[in-house]
Structure 1
Amino acid sequence: MNELDERIVRVLAEDARRSYADIGAEVGLSAPAVKRRVDRLREDGAITGFTVRVDPSALGWETEGFIEMYCRSNTGPQDIRRALTRYPEVVAASTVTGDADAVVQVFAADMRHFEAVLERIASEPFVERTKSVLVLSPLLRRYGSGAPT
């Protein structure tokens, strides 16, 4: 991906509904040239899809937290992933370095709901213990806009 492709991707990441003509005006290309580049980026797998970002609070999910999972030694990432896909409250999960095996981002309706999700995750057969933190105020979120400029 070259610098022009990166600029197109940044514009799409900010608002994927922008027209090719609008994107072209911003990056200095014609609408057909932008379309060709976007099609190529999709074919190459650099762009994997287009989506909408919804404010979780608009759906009634007012509480956000992170759960560190500490798992039994024979637990593989696929086991963690398989278990967590059953929880609609889990919006992201990653294996990590350090003491924890994985960190899980959770949205819930309220504290009671978060606690229930935490207890269900902690009761998974491969989980030895958990540690959680609640988000007070999100300070910065970036959504797939490429490398910072």
Structure 2
Amino acid sequence: MRLNDLDERIVHALAEDARRSYADIGAEVGLSAPAVKRRVDRLLAVGAITGFTVRVDPAALGWSTEAYIELYCHGSTSADAIRRGLERYPEVVSASTVTGEADAIVHVFASDVRHFEAVLERIVGEPFVDRTKSVLVLSPLLRRYTSGSPN
């Protein structure tokens, strides 16, 4: 489903703060609260909005080390096999197939460098992994959690 401008603005407002009232969002986009609710319900029904969640600072949970791991896999490892292999690691917050030399990139949070090293060693031990290349994040410069254009 392709969102129209009004739906995009509603999604953007919810992505900024999913706890905002429909009346508040309506005032921003020029609709009544019931009209915003109907649109949000429709967006949920068609799968354009997949749910509502809370964003937690990983450091608040004691996970202050952040890293990215490039995965280089054996032969023709499928994306599904990579996903199945990584989904059991709670330290992995996202994983994507990518263009370029690597087959996938994995975003990891850990409590410290020693914890990250242990996670990396476990991932390297996965049967589909040929080798890895990793980088530790020093300072996150920009994080965006919104969707759509911020009109």
Pick the TM interval, shorter chain.
over 0.9
1:30 Cα deviation after fit? 0.5
Match of 1:88 in 2: 90
Question: Which secondary structure state, in structure 2, belongs to the residue aligned with residue 104 of structure 1?
Answer: strand
1:144 Cα deviation after fit? 3.7
Q: What percent of counterpart residues are identical?
A: 78
1:26 Cα deviation after fit? 1.1
C-alpha distance in 2, partners of 1:24/1:11?
10
Over 3 Å counting, the alpha-carbon distance change for 1:12 and 1:148 in structure 2 is: closer
Which of 75, 78, 95 does residue 77 from structure 2 map onto? 75
Question: Which secondary structure state, in structure 2, belongs to the residue aligned with residue 120 of structure 1?
Answer: helix
1:143 Cα deviation after fit? 1.3
Normalising by structure 1, we get a TM-score of: 0.97
Match of 1:114 in 2: 116
Farther off after superposition, 136-145 or 108-117: 136-145
* Aligned alpha-carbon RMSD (Å): 1.0
Question: Which secondary structure state, in structure 1, belongs to the residue aligned with residue 27 of structure 2?
Answer: helix
Normalising by structure 2, we get a TM-score of: 0.96
Q: Number of aligned residue pairs: give it.
A: 149
Match of 1:15 in 2: 17
Question: Which secondary structure state, in structure 1, belongs to the residue aligned with residue 140 of structure 2?
Answer: coil
Question: Which secondary structure state, in structure 2, belongs to the residue aligned with residue 137 of structure 1?
Answer: coil
C-alpha distance in 2, partners of 1:38/1:148?
17
Question: Which secondary structure state, in structure 2, belongs to the residue aligned with residue 54 of structure 1?
Answer: coil
Alignment of 1:1-149 (within 5 A): 1-147=3-149
